[in-house]
């Protein structure tokens, strides 16, 4: 089956609501595993990579959770397909750049995904909408247990799970959440918060992970350390910090409303004005403006706009998603025109924002 | 009479249509004159400045063209009053900074204005809407002839009229026009045109003359040389160059429409979107966006928007004009909020722009 046929084709189909998704867009737990007696993918020869893939892929496909799944060697996917998967957070940018011996398997809900021969032989993730780090951990733990019966993991009694990069050694777990923090950005408190979170041994990154920009005021918060703490401790600690960041974001929004309602109104009004009237718009600008519209929805400034519409547009205005909606290959400028047309069209029935208030 | 009572208080009252005002916003001819046997204002002692003012002001007031006029010593005007006069191009920024011994006299239409003790003892201007440099010259020449019978001008048979700055020596005439050139700016041809015009011995400046920015894509074109050519030659030469610039601007617009309609639509759509939705807007941004709206009117993109409305807003969103519409003294931030409110209010019935076309 073709990738575009498998993944939700209509914007509506890919919006899944979740608890607390006003601020927490998604939660993710990812485990790294490697096969014993086989070199890590980066150092492996092509033949060894292919062999590892041929061992892992059938094992993954046989899992109950993946009965209705998409499975492919990256070699067989076009670069557009791979870019689509990156935009959906199903594979990493680094994985998209790989081909021979690399693979991907994920279920229809896109909540369970396996990258084969990325940095490690196997990276499995559970990605859930809203604030659900504990649930994501439970699900991925179950998958891991099932898979451990089928595969021979590289494990040391001293160090725990062995990984290609020593920063993942031990539990090899990465717990993260995508947070929408326009209040902290607008009130210029974001740097302070990022610094505090860093001091707690957690990392704050952009929309596509390490080294990427915080487009659309979306920040990824994740654990840094994988050694010396149990998985449940790591999950609980991240959950606690997330709770604090959410509180800061809520406070920042309240303070903005009380002291700078005009500034809020101005930012959101302008975002609305540009999104509904631009005829050329780049991906980054669109994301940043959609973020403000999302904040406007949270402030009840739009009577006829749903957060779901914004989240769909956030995804469907990105380059690869935009390309899938068009027959011929689009150049960057044509994409910017098509993106603007799509935004004007989807938002045309939305009335001008009214005064902000907090629900 | 108070200044604000004299000058047109309603936005509508100060819009005067003129020939070719689609591109040429106004035409101006200014003559510099000095009294014989009296030091130039910059070097004069206060007593000498006051004496010159007392000689010139009654002579000016007695002119037929100034029967219904406003006349004042700058000492008696508030800084807000003076700023208002600058925004209306009735006095220069330099003149507004002067006080003792300086004066201003102008008629109700604001077409005839005299600055007393600016750089020279007397600077008289005729300012007409649209492309009317020859008519402006005729009118100012008549005023000058009438005034010459009442005042003893400093004149040398060898050099002509003597002026404080040698660059004005001779005819002491400055002929200029304010041009709205968004087409040349958007198509990035403006620098080429400015260079060509400079090579012809003419100066291109910003909205408030020498050393000021070209806000709102408005450029002032004027003669540089005042010596060695007759006034009528200077007027004719400027008129000819203006005709060429107008032609270039028209061509640039046509080329934009033919080759870059999306870019035009994008710029004008965004300007409309921001002006109708911002809640805080600075003067410069407002001018630049209003300029694009003005181009949109020329391109027939707005079914219910008149160029006159834009020209009023162009003037009435400027700081001093904005202040006159409000009781208490406004801070910069309050002005930005009031400006945005005024713009949203005046433009609220204007529908979204449609595809551009040339009339």
Domains of chain A, start order: 3-252 (3.30.590.10), 260-347 (no CATH)
Digit-coded pLDDT (tens) for B257-267: 999 999 999 99
3-state secondary structure of A260: coil
DSSP letter at B34?
Answer: -
Rounded to two decimals, the pTM is 0.90
Q: What percent of chain B has pLDDT over 70?
A: 96
Residue among B131, B129, B179 at smallest CA distance from B295: B179
Given this model, what pLDDT does residue A184 score?
Answer: 94
- Shortest CB distance from B262 goes to which of A266, A280, A352? A280
* Residues of chain B with C-beta less than 8 angstroms from the C-beta of A340: 266
**Does residue A265 sit at the B interface (CB-CB below 8 Å)?**
yes
Q: Which of B263, B266, B278 has the CB atom closest to A269's CB atom?
A: B278
Average pLDDT, chain B: 92
Residue of chain A minimizing CA distance to B267: A278
Nearest beta carbon to residue B277 from set A273, A278, A337: A273
Helix A133-148 crosses helix A231-259 at what angle (to 10 degrees)?
160
**Residue A166: predicted pLDDT:** 87
Tell me which residues of chain B, numbers 288 to 347, contact chain A at a CB-CB cutoff of 8 Å: 337, 340
Alpha-carbon distances, residue A173 vs A67, A153, A223, B32 (angstroms): 25, 15, 8, 81
Rounded to a whole number of angstroms, the distance from the CA of B57 to the nearest CA of chain A is 48
Name the residue among A276, A337, A353 with its Cβ closest to that of B273.
A276
Q: What local confidence, expressed as pLDDT, does residue B212 receive?
A: 63
CB-based contact, B282 to chain A, within 8 Å: no
Cβ proximity of B188 and B252 under 8 Å: no
A212 in contact with B, Cβ within 8 Å: no
Residue B265's CB is within 10 A of a number of other CB atoms, namely 24
> What confidence score (pLDDT) does residue A341 get?
96
Contacts of A279 in chain B (CB under 8 A): 262-263, 265-266, 269
Q: How many residues does chain B have?
A: 359
Identify from B272, B277, B351 which residue to disrupt to test chain A contact, counting A C-beta atoms within 10 A and taking the largest count: B277
User: What own/partner pairs with CB < 8 Å and gap ≥ 24 does A205-210 have?
Assistant: A207/A178, A207/A287, A208/A86, A208/A89, A208/A92, A208/A93, A209/A92, A209/A93
Give mean pLDDT in consecutive 10-residue pieces for chain A, a chain of 359 residues: 78 76 96 94 92 96 94 93 94 88 94 96 96 97 96 93 91 96 93 92 78 82 90 95 96 94 95 98 95 95 89 92 88 94 94 83
What is the share, in percent, of chain B residues with pLDDT greater than 90?
79
**With an 8 Å Cβ cutoff, are B269 and A263 in contact?**
no
What local confidence, expressed as pLDDT, does residue B214 receive?
A: 74
pLDDT, tens digit, for every residue of B79-113? Answer: 999 999 999 999 999 999 987 899 999 999 999 99
Q: For the segment B340-356, what is each residue's pLDDT rounded down to a tens digit?
A: 999 999 999 999 998 88
- Computed over every residue of chain A, the mean pLDDT equals 92
Confidence band of B211 (pLDDT split at 50, 70, 90): low
A279 and B272 within 8 Å at the Cβ level: the answer is no
pLDDT value for A10: 61
Q: What's the ipTM?
A: 0.87
Q: Is the pLDDT of residue B314 over 70?
A: yes
**pLDDT for A83:** 94
Q: How far apart are CA A150 and CA A137, in angstroms?
A: 20
- For the cut 70, the answer to whether the pLDDT of residue B283 exceeds it is yes
Among chain B residues, CA nearest to A354: B277
Instruction: Give the distance between the most distant pair of CA atoms in chain A.
Output: 63
* CB B35 within 8 Å of CB B151: yes
Does B257 reach chain A within 8 Å, measured CB to CB? Answer: no
Residue A277 and residue B280: Cβ atoms within 8 Å? Answer: no
**What residue in A sits closest to B264 (Cα-Cα)?**
A279
Between CA B100 and CA B50 the distance in angstroms is: 7
The average pLDDT across B160-177 equals: 93
Write down the pLDDT at residue B226.
87
Which contiguous run of DSSP H or E holds residue A271?
helix A261-275
Q: What is the pLDDT of residues B317-346, one digit of tens each?
A: 999 999 988 888 899 899 999 999 999 999
Non-local (6+) Cβ contacts of A242 within 8 A are: A24, A131, A133, A177, A179, A221
DSSP class of residue B27 equals E
Q: Which of B265, B266, B337 sits opposite A262 (nearest CB)?
A: B337
pLDDT of res. A328? 84
Token readout for B92 is 């220069």
Nearest CA to CA, how far is B4 from chain A (Å)? 30
**Residue B160 bridge partners (DSSP):** B156
User: A43 or B271: which carries more pLDDT confidence?
Assistant: B271
Contacts of A262 in chain B (CB under 8 A): 279-280, 337
Each residue's pLDDT tens digit, B56-76: 999 999 999 999 999 999 999
**pLDDT in the model for residue B184:** 94
Q: At what angle do helices A307-316 and A332-347 cross, to 10 degrees?
A: 170
For residue range B110-163, list pLDDT tens digits in order. 999 999 999 999 999 999 999 999 999 999 999 999 999 999 999 999 999 999
Whether residues B263 and A277 touch (CB distance < 8 A) is answered with no
Query: Looking at the partner chain, which of B277, B352, B353 has a beta carbon nearest the beta carbon of A269?
Result: B277
């Amino acid at each position: 089956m073709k990738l575009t046929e498998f993944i939700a084709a209509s914007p509506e189909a890919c919006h899944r609501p979740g608890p607390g998704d006003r601020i927490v867009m998604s939660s993710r737990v990812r485990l790294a595993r490697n096969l014993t007696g086989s070199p890590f993918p980066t150092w492996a020869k092509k033949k060894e990579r292919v062999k590892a893939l041929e061992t892992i892929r059938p094992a993954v496909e046989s899992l109950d959770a993946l009965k209705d799944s998409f499975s492919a060697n990256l070699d067989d996917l076009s670069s557009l397909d791979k870019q689509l998967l990156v935009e959906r957070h199903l594979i990493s940018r680094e994985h998209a750049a790989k081909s021979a011996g690399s693979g991907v398997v994920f279920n229809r809900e896109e909540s369970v995904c396996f990258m084969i021969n990325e940095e490690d032989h196997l990276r499995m993730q559970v990605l859930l909408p809203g604030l659900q780090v504990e649930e994501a951990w439970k699900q991925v733990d179950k998958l891991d247990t099932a898979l451990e019966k089928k595969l021979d993991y590289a494990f040391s009694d001293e160090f725990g799970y062995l990984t290609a990069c020593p920063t993942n050694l031990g539990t090899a777990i990465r717990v993260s959440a995508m947070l929408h923090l326009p209040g902290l950005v607008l009130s210029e408190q974001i740097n302070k918060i990022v610094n505090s979170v860093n001091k707690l041994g957690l990392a704050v990154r952009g929309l596509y992970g390490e080294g990427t920009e915080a487009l659309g005021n979306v920040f990824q918060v994740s654990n840094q350390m994988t050694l010396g703490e149990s998985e449940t401790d790591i999950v609980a600690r991240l959950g606690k910090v997330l709770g604090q960041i959410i509180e800061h974001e809520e406070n920042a929004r309240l303070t903005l409303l009380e002291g700078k309602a005009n500034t809020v109104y101005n930012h959101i009004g302008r975002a609305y004005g540009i999104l509904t009237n631009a005829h050329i718009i780049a991906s980054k600008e669109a994301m940043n403006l959609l973020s403000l519209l999302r904040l406007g929805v949270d402030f009840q400034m739009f009577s006829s706009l749903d957060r779901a519409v914004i989240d769909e547009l956030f995804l469907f205005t990105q380059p690869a998603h935009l390309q899938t909606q068009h027959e011929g290959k689009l150049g960057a400028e044509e994409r910017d025109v098509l993106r603007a047309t799509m935004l004007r069209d989807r938002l045309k029935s939305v009335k001008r924002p009214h005064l902000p208030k907090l629900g």
